Amino acid sequence: METLSRYVGWTFDYILQMLPCCVLTAAVFLALLPVRKRRLARLGLVSRPRREALLFLFVLFCGGLMALTLFPAGFWSALMAGHLPPEGWFACRGSGMYLRITLLSELTEGGAWTWFMLLGNAGMFVPLGFFPALLWRRARWWKSVLAAGGTSLFVELWQRFIDRSSDINDLILNTLGGLLGFGLYVLLSRLLPDWTGTCQVEEQYGRETGDSGPASGA
């Protein structure tokens, strides 16, 4: 019970750190909404409210992921507490690069914090495998792996330029998280095919024939 309480507390702290960038990406999403709608209309496509809501959640997640990975550790916690970032946080150097795979030893010997970080590194990249497969056409497992792995590789390289470390174990876990996200999409599409089928853009009726909908020829 104590371990679970720790996990909840740590998770809540990370969610708080995600909020500033979530607000920023939400504002950008809403500002660009009319532009996207017009572009889809020109292509003869429509994005239904369900897809828009899921796309909005994905954009919020991307903003939160940016906050947690592209800034120095604890940056947003310090800023929200009224403390300016200490000198050296954005120095063009990382605190280390770890190229040895240690996942097995960490799984067998790690404590609560180690397990939290392992699960978190995999779990926070699940949406990068799940949402693109759900929201865009022609879902493929390798696309989810590429989205998660490519993003993770960029993050690990970027962290060489801030006061954070780069770790191949994070890259592996992040990529596995993307693959797990695609597996979640496959499971959902088999259990609820009608629901997942309405999460992608649809062709507007009448673009070529002038029909107003499926019942117009009745």
- pLDDT for 160: 84
Q: Tell me the sheet residues that pair with 167.
A: 98
Whether the Cβ atoms of residue 119 and residue 107 lie closer than 8 Å to each other: no
CA angle 141, 144, 149 (to 5 degrees): 125
Q: What is the pTM of this model?
A: 0.84
Whether the Cβ atoms of residue 143 and residue 179 lie closer than 8 Å to each other: no
CA terminus-to-terminus distance, the chain: 62
- pLDDT for 215: 42
- pLDDT for 191: 96
pLDDT in tens, the chain (218 residues): 777 788 788 888 889 889 999 999 999 999 999 999 999 999 999 999 999 999 999 999 999 999 999 988 778 877 777 776 655 555 555 567 888 999 988 888 888 888 888 999 999 999 999 999 999 988 999 999 999 999 999 999 998 888 788 899 999 999 999 999 999 999 999 999 999 988 999 988 644 433 334 443 43
**Nearest Cα to 161, choosing from 112, 88, 110?**
88
- pLDDT for 86: 58
